[in-house]
Structure 1
Amino acid sequence: EGLIDPSRTVQIGIRGAQNSMEGWDFSDSTGMRVLFMDELTRIGAEAAAQEARRIVGHGPTYLSFDIDGLDPAFAPGTGTPEVGGLTTVEALTLLRGLRGVQLVGADVVEVAPPFDPTGITALAGATMAYELLCLLSEQS
């Protein structure tokens, strides 16, 4: 349908069994940028945000924050917890590094409170949503 421009799409913090790139063929073949967690760890959250800014450019941008991108130490209440994820500080650095991007919408997904009786996942999700609202409020 042409609603999403793959060349302006970036997935950040992907991790898991990466001994096979099978499953990432679609992203690769369409020109999407996948910034795996290993690379983010190597270059840092600020550089990852700069890379995302470079990729999305000056056009309208939608941001979806998947809470399972965080390490389960910070967000255990999700359907697909996977060790080795972002810390909350790294996530906030990434989001704040996107200041000035032409954000037209955003969401936070995969928060599953029944899987986390401590409430830390809900707190992390609410914090990320607040940061996204701050970014959206700066749009003219």
Structure 2
Amino acid sequence: MASKKEQRDERVEELKKSVEDLKEPVKAFTERVKKTVGNEAKSIAEDAKALGKEAKKQSEKVKKSVEKAGKTVKSRAKKVGDTLSGKESEVKVFVEYGEKQLSTEDLAARAKEAYLGANPLAEIKTLELYVKPEEGAAYYVVNGEASPEFKLVF
């Protein structure tokens, strides 16, 4: 019968042999894992690169769209501003009642003439017209100043 030490030594030798026997399969398995992981990593890197290129393309498209939209908005805003300031179109207003037709331009010119006739040294900064067809008259306010004398009869 073998001593405990001999039994232990035999067991150690068996384990060493088992470890030796496993070295090659473990090495082969490790290589397969590395290869598979490496291929997957390459594939993922290629996909990421493709996605990056596509994102860049989309980013350029969005940038161009935003620039185009900005130009359109500016152009339309300018047109609206020109329209509101009267630069783009001419507006004429007429008041009609019964058989008569009055142009607001003519009424404004008559009101300026009447006011400056009575106040030759005055400056007209603002002029407001109030047309009252039922009275056959228009009243005007100059520079915020009103008077019963500021009346045009038509």
TM-score normalised over the length of structure 1? 0.21
Structure showing greater radius of gyration is 2
Pick 1 or 2: higher relative contact order, CA cutoff 8 A, min separation 6.
Answer: 1
Instruction: Using structure 2 for the length normalisation, give the TM-score.
Output: 0.19
